[in-house]
Amino acid sequence: MSDIIYRKATQQDFATIAGIFATNMDLSVFTTVKDTEALYHFACLFIANDFMRSSFVEVAEHDGKLCGVVMGSTTMTHDKAVVFDHKALSTQAKAALQQTKNGQQVLRDLNTFKTSFDHTRDSDADSELLFFFVDKHYRRNNIGSKLIRSFEYHLTKLNANGYSLHTDTRCSYQYYENNGYQRVSTHNNIFNPEIEHYTYIKAINKR
C-alpha cells in the first residue's frame, strides 16, 4: 500500500490514539472492569502518561485515518515528542474515574497491576518502546516495520544502546520473537493467570 503517510504525532492525535487503545487493546490485563466508559477514561490516563514520557511518537495515516502508531522514550534526551498539558489530561481522566464505582475499581486495579509489574522490569536498556499498534485492516503492508525502523533510527541518532518493551500473550508477541528481540522475563498476569507478560530487549546498531 503506497498511499500511507508517515508523520510525527501532534497534540491533536491524542484523543484518537486513546480511542485506539481503548477499543483495540485487551484491557483485561490491567483491570477486571468491563464498563466501556470507565475503560475509555483509563485509556486516556494511560496514553497521557505515555505521551508525557515519549521522546518519539510517529503515526501512519491513510485517507485521513490514523492506522498505526509507535511511541517510545529514551534517557538519551530530555526532549519530548509532543508538548501538551499532561497534568490537566491526567487529572481530568482520574476525576472521571473517581466519580463511578467502576472507575474507582479501575484505579485500584491499576495500582495493584503497577505494584506487581514494577518488580519484573529486568532490563538495562536506556530506551523503551511504550506503545505500538497497527490497525488490523492495514496489517501485512509493512506499516509496523516502517514505524519500528523510524523509532530505531531516532535511537541510533541519539547513540542509544537498545530498548525494551513489554507485551503479553494477548498481543502479537510472535513479531518480536521473529525479529531479533530477546525475551528477558516472563510472569503471569495478576487478574488472569492464563495470560503471560513478557519483557523483550533489542540492541541498537551504533552509527
Residue 119 CB coordination number (10 Å): 9
pTM for the whole structure: 0.91
Structure confidence at residue 206 as a pLDDT band (50, 70, 90): low
On whether the CB atoms of residues 30 and 110 are closer than 8 A, the answer is yes
- The set of cell numbers assigned to 130 is 511504550
Using pLDDT thresholds of 50, 70 and 90, give the confidence band for residue 122. Answer: low
Class of domain 5-203: alpha beta
Task: Tell me the mean pLDDT in the region 187-206.
Answer: 89
The string of DSSP codes covering 148-196 is: HHHHHHHHHHTT--EEEEEEETTS-THHHHTTT-EEEEEEE-SS-TT-E
Let me know if 135 is exposed, middle or buried by CB neighbors in 10 A (0-12, 13-18, 19+): middle
Residues 62-74 as b/e (b if ≥16 CB within 10 A, e otherwise) read: beeebbbbbbbbb
Cell for 185? 522475563
Per residue in 147-189, pLDDT (tens digit) is 999 999 999 999 999 999 999 998 888 889 888 899 999 999 9
- The pLDDT tens digits for 47-73 are 999 999 999 999 999 999 999 999 999
Per-residue model confidence (pLDDT) at position 52: 94
* Rounded average pLDDT over 33-50: 95
Cell 515519549 identifies what position?
Answer: 54
